[in-house]
Amino acid sequence: MNGRALVARLKEEAATLGLGTLGVAPIAPSDHADALRRWLDRGHAATMEWMERTARDSVDLTRRFAWAKSALVAAVPYLSYAGDRTAQPGVVPHLARYALGPDYHVTLRTRLTALAALLAREAPGATSRVYVDTGPILERELAARAGLGWFGKSTNLILRGGDSYILLGEILTSVELPADEPAPDRCGTCTACIDECPTGAILEPYLVDSSRCISYLTIEHRGRLPRGSERDLGDWIFGCDVCQEVCPWNRKTGPAGDPAFDADRRLEEESLAAIARMDETEFTARFAGTAIARARRQGMVRNALVVAANTGDETALEAAGDRLSDADPVVRSTAAHALGRSGGARDRRRLDRARSRETDPKVAADLELALEERPFDGPREPVL
């Protein structure tokens, strides 16, 4: 089977497997190597040190995969529903939509592995490797090179026909396949994603400072949130979709219709207080098999406490009092800060007692700051 016929066969099978749009990209040095180097040097990767460690390999895949000639890149729509997501009092207000269903890593890897099996049958002796959000791969650049879409000014990939609610996965292969033509940039003069970013994380077109990004803060950042960033979360507890929600190309994006990405609507009905009270066992039982597990128990409890203070959620703030004795020092510090921002007179007494028994110097300092945060009188009020 010649190259073009093989690509046609692979694209046909990809559609059958639920891999959305499939494109082919040549393996070649990145066109954005200098831009990535500047981005890293400016500290825009924040605490994601792995990006520095893998930078040389990611901009030239042949360093690690000398055998690779082509990449098959799949862009899989995941939007499960496009209805109103206005939060109700006492429930989790905002989760990034990709996290509402089962963990996509497993789904995409299974489907791509099946496609790689077809490639192995049609090209005996070929070497292939499947990746989904792993490995030193600049996935969006590879997808753009494969003709699937273009970089939006938010740096999200937007498919040729619109829709940035997509998941990417790829097969690197030693088979040299005819590549697809790149798509033109169709953002034009629109700056909606820049204008509406809640934290100003999109510094300019195609440049995002991760340290300001709500998705980074709620998912990737480990430990205490940087002081002063708590209000930036607003009512987002895991990820952020604002730059996608305001993108004109997504106005007509409808549900993907893929049962594998059906939303577990219970996730949006989970109360902030329930998450704030979860121990490790409860967290694992509730979120195992979902993308939310990536934030870990520490991160999700931390986020719930911050959002409770931001929204004035009384029940969750009651749970914050209990978290002052949590085994995790990050959780204790965050609970102190939440009560310091939104607490009443009873919370001052709780903070005083916690301070008297605290043995961790960092947490003790945070308790002191919480007691100095604001006057502890009157009803709690949301700070949004």
Q: Rounded to the nearest 10 degrees, what angle do helices 296-311 and 329-342 cross at?
A: 0
**Can you read off the two tokens belonging to residue 263?**
């939303």
Question: In angstroms, how far apart are the furthest CA atoms of the chain?
Answer: 77
Q: Rounded to the nearest 10 degrees, what angle do helices 329-342 and 345-357 cross at?
A: 150
Amino acid at 146: A
**Can you read off the two tokens belonging to residue 279?**
């121990």
**Can you read off the two tokens belonging to residue 343?**
């607490």
Q: What angle do CA 294, 295, 301 make, to 5 degrees?
A: 145
Say which of 31, 41, 103, 133 is annotated catalytic. 133
CA–CA separation, 307 and 245 (whole Å)? 20
The HSE-up count of residue 332 (CA atoms within 13 Å, CB side) is 23
For residues 104 and 52, the answer to whether their CB atoms sit within 8 Å is no
CA–CA separation, 110 and 16 (whole Å)? 13
Decide if 326 is catalytic: no
**Can you read off the two tokens belonging to residue 233?**
């979360």
**Can you read off the two tokens belonging to residue 151?**
């970089």
Tell me 178's DSSP state: P
Contacts of 291 (CB under 8 A, 6+ apart): 98, 99, 103, 104, 105
Give catalytic residue positions: 133
